[in-house]
Amino acid sequence: MSGKADPRPAGKGTTSRTRLDRGRGALGPALELVHTGRAPTRAVLTAELGVTRATAGAVAAELEALGLIRVDARPGAAAGSQGRPSHRLSVAEDGPVALAAQVHSDGFRAALVGLGGRIVATAPGCEVIDADPAKVLGSVVAAGAELLRETGRRCVGAGLAVPSAVAEPEGLALNPLHLAWPAGAPVREIFAGQVRAAGLDGPAFAANDVNLAALAEHRHGAGRGSRDLLCVATGHRGVGGALVLDGLLHSGSSGLALEVGHLAVNPDGRPCHCGGRGCLDVEADPLALLTAAGRAPGPEMSLLKQADDLIRGQYGEPDVRIAAESLIDRLGLGLAGLVNILNPDRIILGGLHRTLLEADPNRLRAVVADRSLWGRSGGVPILACTLDHNSLVGAAELAWQPVLDDPLGALA
Ligand SMILES: [Zn+2]
C-alpha cells in the first residue's frame, strides 16, 4: 500500500474504482511475471504481486481476455498431492507476436517472437549486405511481413538488432564497422519507415545486437535472476558487451556504454579499425581465431560458423588448441578488467566466446580469477548464453515493452 493520501473524495463508487485502478496497475507486472516464467501458477502470481487472490484472479482473467496468456483452471494434480492445485498460467501460444529483425555482417534474419521469448517463425536472408541501409531494412521487413501473412498473427510492434553502437535519442548506427553502411546512419528512422510502409501495426525500435542479447538472456536465458549481469559476445565479426542492472539495460548517457570491443588486451597486437592496437575486437573474434589457427576463411559460410566448427571439430589438433588458448587468455584479460570495474554478479558469454568457454571452462575462469581482484576473492560465475538467436529475441523485447508496461493501453 502506498503511504500517499488518496486525493479523491470518499463516497459512493470510490472503493470499486480503487479496486479497478489497482487491478489495471497490476496487469503489466503480472504479464511480465508470466512472460519471464516467474509466475507459473496463480498462487505464485498472487504472492509475487502482493494482492488478494481475487485481484490476482481478475488480473489473470483480463490478460487471458486480451489473448496474451492462458489460464488452465484444471491442471492435472500430481499423483498423491493434497488439495486443489493452483491454476496454471502460461503465455498464449497463438497470441500476438513482435516482428524481430537482425542484420549482421553475413546477412539478415527476420522472425516473429511471441511472449515468453518464443520464436514462432523465422526467415534468414541474403549473404551480402547492401551498402544502403534502406535496401537491407526494406528486405528484412518484407521477410517479416511475409511471415505475418503466412501465420495470420497480430503484430504488436517491431524491433531491430544491428552490429553497431546505436546513439540515443536519435537511433543512429554510429560504427557499423563490419557492414558497409555509412557511420551515423539513422537506422531507427529508416526501420520505422519500412515498418509503416509495409502496413504493419505498432511502434518500431532499434538497438545494438549484444545489448539486446543481454536483455533476452536476462529475461529468458542464462541471465535470469542476476542483478548485475555482464554479457560479452562476438557477433559474426567483432566483440560487444552489455550490462543489465536490476533488469534494465545500462546504456550510458547516450546509448554508447560497454563498448568493450575496444579494450586493449594485447599491446603489441593487431591494428584495430578504431585506430588503436590489440583491441578485443580484433584479438578475440572469429576472424582472429581462424587467423591464429592458420586457416584461411572460406566464403561458403559465416566466419562465426567456421570458427565454431573449427573449435568443436578439431580442438584436439595442436594448432587449433594453441590458437584457442591464446584467444581465451586475451578474452580472460578483458573480462578481468571489466570485473574489476563493474563487479558483476554473473558473466554470460555468447557467439564464439561461448564456444571457447565450453571448450576449456577451467582455463578461462582461471585467467579471470587470476587477473581480477574481485574474481580472486569471490569467483564470478561465468556461463554460456543459452538462447538461440538471443539478439532477435531481445529485439522483440523492445517491441513487447509497451505491452508489458500497459497491456490494456497498448492493445486497445
Ligand atoms: Zn579497437
C-alpha of residue 175 to centroid of ligand 1, in Å? 11
CB 140 within 8 A of CB 125: yes
C-alpha of residue 13 to centroid of ligand 1, in Å? 63
First and final C-alpha spacing in the chain: 28
pLDDT tens, 290-308? 999 999 998 878 899 999 9
C-alpha of residue 268 to centroid of ligand 1, in Å? 13
The CA distances from residue 113 to 37, 145, 197, 222, in Å, are 16, 13, 21, 19
C-alpha of residue 287 to centroid of ligand 1, in Å? 14
Residue 289, in any domain of the structure: yes
* Domain stop point among 91, 125, 149: 91
Answer yes or no: do 250 and 273 share one domain: yes
Say which CATH number the domain at 298 has.
3.30.420.40
Residue 241, in any domain of the structure: yes
C-alpha of residue 263 to centroid of ligand 1, in Å? 7
pTM: 0.91
Residue 272, in any domain of the structure: yes
Total domain count for the chain?
A: 3
Answer yes or no: do 149 and 294 share one domain: no
Residue 106, in any domain of the structure: yes
> Element (H or E) spanning 167, and its range?
strand 166-167
Region 233-237: what's the mean pLDDT? 90
C-alpha of residue 281 to centroid of ligand 1, in Å? 6
Q: Which of 93-102, 296-305, 402-411 has the lowest mean pLDDT?
A: 296-305
In the predicted structure, residue 3 carries a pLDDT above the cut 50: no
Q: What length is written for the chain?
A: 412
Beta-sheet pairing, 346-350 with 382-384 = parallel
Q: If you count DSSP H runs as helices and E runs as strands, how many of each does the chain have, helices first?
A: 15, 14
Residue 173, in any domain of the structure: yes
Answer yes or no: do 382 and 395 share one domain: no
Q: Is 157 left (phi over 0), alpha (psi -120 to 50) or beta?
A: left
In the predicted structure, residue 344 carries a pLDDT above the cut 60: yes
Q: What pLDDT, on a 0 to 100 scale, did the predictor assign at position 23? A: 73
Distance separating alpha carbons of residues 119 and 44, to the nearest angstrom? 26
Bridge partners, residue 207, by sequence? 161
C-alpha of residue 20 to centroid of ligand 1, in Å? 54
Distance separating alpha carbons of residues 172 and 183, to the nearest angstrom? 8
Answer yes or no: do 244 and 375 share one domain: yes
Answer yes or no: do 251 and 375 share one domain: yes
In the predicted structure, residue 246 carries a pLDDT above the cut 70: yes
Answer yes or no: do 127 and 23 share one domain: no
C-alpha of residue 108 to centroid of ligand 1, in Å? 24
Residue 218, in any domain of the structure: no
Q: Burial level of 274, CB count in 10 A (0-12/13-18/19+)?
A: middle
* Domain stop point among 91, 123, 149: 91
Pick from 216, 222, 134, 233: nearest CA to 399: 216
Answer yes or no: do 179 and 310 share one domain: no
C-alpha of residue 340 to centroid of ligand 1, in Å? 20
Residue 4, in any domain of the structure: no
Q: Give the number of C-alpha atoms closer than 13 A to the C-alpha of residue 115, restricted to the C-beta side.
A: 31
Q: What pLDDT, on a 0 to 100 scale, did the predictor assign at position 14? A: 45
Answer yes or no: do 232 and 362 share one domain: yes
Unique residue bearing C-alpha cell 594448432: 319
Question: Which range of residues forms the domain containing residue 292?
Answer: 225-386
C-alpha of residue 270 to centroid of ligand 1, in Å? 9
Say which CATH number the domain at 61 has.
1.10.10.10
- Between residues 379 and 65, which one has the greater pLDDT? 65
- Between residues 304 and 19, which one has the greater pLDDT? 304
Q: What pLDDT, on a 0 to 100 scale, did the predictor assign at position 74? A: 80
pLDDT tens, 133-160? 999 999 999 999 999 999 999 999 999 9
C-alpha of residue 283 to centroid of ligand 1, in Å? 10
C-alpha of residue 131 to centroid of ligand 1, in Å? 22
Answer yes or no: do 232 and 381 share one domain: yes
Answer yes or no: do 365 and 231 share one domain: yes
C-alpha of residue 232 to centroid of ligand 1, in Å? 15
Answer yes or no: do 40 and 63 share one domain: yes
* Average pLDDT, rounded, for the chain: 90
Q: What pLDDT, on a 0 to 100 scale, did the predictor assign at position 125? A: 80
Answer yes or no: do 232 and 310 share one domain: yes
What percent of the chain is predicted at pLDDT more than 70? 91
Q: What pLDDT, on a 0 to 100 scale, did the predictor assign at position 2? A: 37
In the predicted structure, residue 102 carries a pLDDT above the cut 50: yes
Q: Which residues contact 24 (CB under 8 A, 6 or more apart)?
A: 408
Residue 219, in any domain of the structure: no
Distance separating alpha carbons of residues 7 and 247, to the nearest angstrom? 32
In the predicted structure, residue 393 carries a pLDDT above the cut 50: yes
* Domain stop point among 67, 91, 115: 91
Peptide bond into 169 cis (omega under 30): yes
